[in-house]
Amino acid sequence: MARAKFQTLTEQMFYTLLCLKEECCGMDILDRIPSMTGQRVSIGSGTLYTLLEQFLEEGMIRETKVEGRRRSYILTESGRQMLEKEYERLCAQAEDYRRIFREEESR
């Protein structure tokens, strides 16, 4: 079964939205994601610009300015809520992991 669009976020989606807490353009995002993740996560430009278009269509980000081909974006309240939902999901997964291994260690 296909995953419902934006029901959960990939790492690239999560960090793209996280970057847009502050206004920035695509090139800024391409630089920030590896930097904020200690080089653990990177994103290709094709993937990034596809995601930005999808996020715009869903109202998760909005365009703030256009200077030639350079476009800047910022997170909307809807995008912030999606990030919060994903953060809570990831925390729940981490808690499940800790609980399962604590139970195993206590046996």
45-52 own/partner pairs: CB under 8 Å, 24+ apart: 47/12, 48/12, 48/16, 51/12, 51/13, 51/16, 52/16, 52/26
Task: Write the CA distances from 66 to 2, 9, 63, 70, integer angstroms.
Answer: 35, 27, 8, 6
Q: Is residue 86 part of a domain?
A: yes
Average pLDDT, the chain: 92
Q: For residue 73, what is the domain's CATH number?
A: 1.10.10.10
pTM, 2 dp: 0.88
Q: Is residue 30 part of a domain?
A: yes
Banded pLDDT at 37 (limits 50, 70, 90): very high
Please say if the pLDDT value at position 11 is more than 80.
Answer: yes
Provide the number of structural domains found in the chain. 1
Mean pLDDT of 57-63: 97
Whole domain around residue 85: which residue ranges? Answer: 11-106
Of 48-52, 84-88, 101-105, least confident by mean pLDDT is 101-105
